[in-house]
């Protein structure tokens, strides 16, 4: 899915190399249709959210991509991969934006589960960047980090 979405960015001005990439993706999909995700019965409801990013991984505009996946017990329940809207100037910034998206996902999941009578107390967010972890633990916004944003600023009213 990630590869198909990546190729979709070039629909306005496709090149031969893009067509070859799409063909390679379809060959891969055709050869792996027998693979499945399997969720066993009786899995626990402990929920963990993992966040990661690739700093400046897009070769065209050097923007980072956030990746977030959520597990309930041993079962993968949601995931997404999305290019960040702002250009991250450091690995810490890119990871922090991903961790923030993971928190949004965790809060959404926690609220959605209430509708099914399931209450979760704490949902751990797993992040592999010490700088982003330290930044998320400190609620004081420092002058070096006030520029961090994952969405364009809203117009003034």
Give the pLDDT of the chain (157 residues) as one tens digit per residue: 667 777 777 888 888 988 898 899 889 989 988 887 665 665 567 899 999 999 998 888 999 999 999 998 888 888 899 999 999 999 999 999 999 999 999 999 899 888 878 888 899 999 999 999 988 888 576 655 666 765 544 333 3
Distance CA(49)–CA(127), nearest Å, equals 9
Give the largest CA-CA distance in the chain.
Answer: 54
pLDDT at position 150 is 53
Of the candidate CATH numbers 3.30.420.10, 3.30.365.10, 3.40.30.10, 3.40.47.10, the domain formed by 38-150 belongs to 3.30.420.10
pLDDT at position 152 is 44
Q: What 3-state class would DSSP assign to 71?
A: strand
pTM: 0.69
Domain boundaries, the chain: 1-36, 38-150
How buried is residue 122: exposed, middle or buried, by Cβ count under 10 Å (0-12/13-18/19+)? exposed
């Amino acid at each position: 899915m990630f590869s198909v979405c990546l190729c979709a960015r070039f629909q306005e001005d496709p090149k031969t190399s893009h067509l070859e990439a799409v063909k390679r993706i379809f060959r891969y999909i055709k050869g792996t249709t027998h693979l499945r995700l399997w969720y066993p019965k009786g899995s626990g409801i402990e929920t963990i959210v993992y966040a990661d990013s690739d700093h400046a991984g897009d070769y065209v505009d050097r923007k980072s991509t956030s990746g977030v996946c959520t597990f309930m017990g041993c079962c993968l329940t949601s995931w997404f991969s999305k290019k960040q809207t702002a250009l991250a100037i450091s690995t810490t910034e890119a990871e922090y934006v991903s961790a923030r998206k993971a928190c949004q996902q965790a809060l959404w999941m926690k609220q959605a589960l209430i509708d099914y009578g399931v209450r979760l107390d704490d949902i751990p967010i797993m992040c592999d960047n010490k700088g982003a972890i330290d930044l998320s633990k400190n609620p004081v916004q420092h002058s070096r980090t006030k520029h961090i944003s994952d969405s364009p600023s809203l117009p003034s009213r």
